[in-house]
Structure 1
Amino acid sequence: MSTPLLTESEIVDALATLPAWTRSGAALTRSIEADSFLTGIELVRAVAEVAEATDHHPDIDIRWRKILFTLSTHSAGGLTELDLALAREIDRLAPKYAGADVPNE
């Protein structure tokens, strides 16, 4: 069973409720700077647990204390409700581990 792609209107509406996220083509991105490298790894682990539980996995790039999350439903070819749900979970988890958001590059 495939997950339907979000419409342009649904994406715009969702981004209004996800201010830390940026649209990058067919994906959402958020960069977070953790308090330390190990704290960043703890955030990645917490997100990985959610990803495993929901069977929806983000692309994660770790550069010292900076973690870049990229969300897209590859099987659907773009953004779906699964990505929005994972973005909300990352937003819920981030304050426990993060020092600050950093601009997406």
Structure 2
Amino acid sequence: MEASETIKFNQLEYIFAQSAKGNHILFDPDQIKKVFSQVSPIGIAPGNYLTGLNMKQLQQMKHLVDTLIHQPTLLLKQQFIRGLSEESRELIIRAYFNILENNLYANKEFVH
């Protein structure tokens, strides 16, 4: 693995380690609350991460996650998220929590 890939991997490990402790450092807490406290702007009921998304939304979600991962620093990752439209930010928050939950279940450390 080349150095830049190692750095990106280490950043992701750090982000998910913090998330496991309840510190969601990429997102503003109000953004997270908005996505999961009511029927969201894109029409998804609370408590669902991916249920109800159509193929176009899932493809957009994949593109957003890929773009986020390739941001070289944590600050640039945060700036990328802040610059997204409300709908895109919702998709990336849903993807993030889906990945986080799957990772925590796999490691049996579920704490939200």
Provide the TM-score with structure 1 as the length reference: 0.32
Q: Normalising by structure 2, what TM-score?
A: 0.30
Higher Rg of the two aligned structures: 2
More strand by share: 1
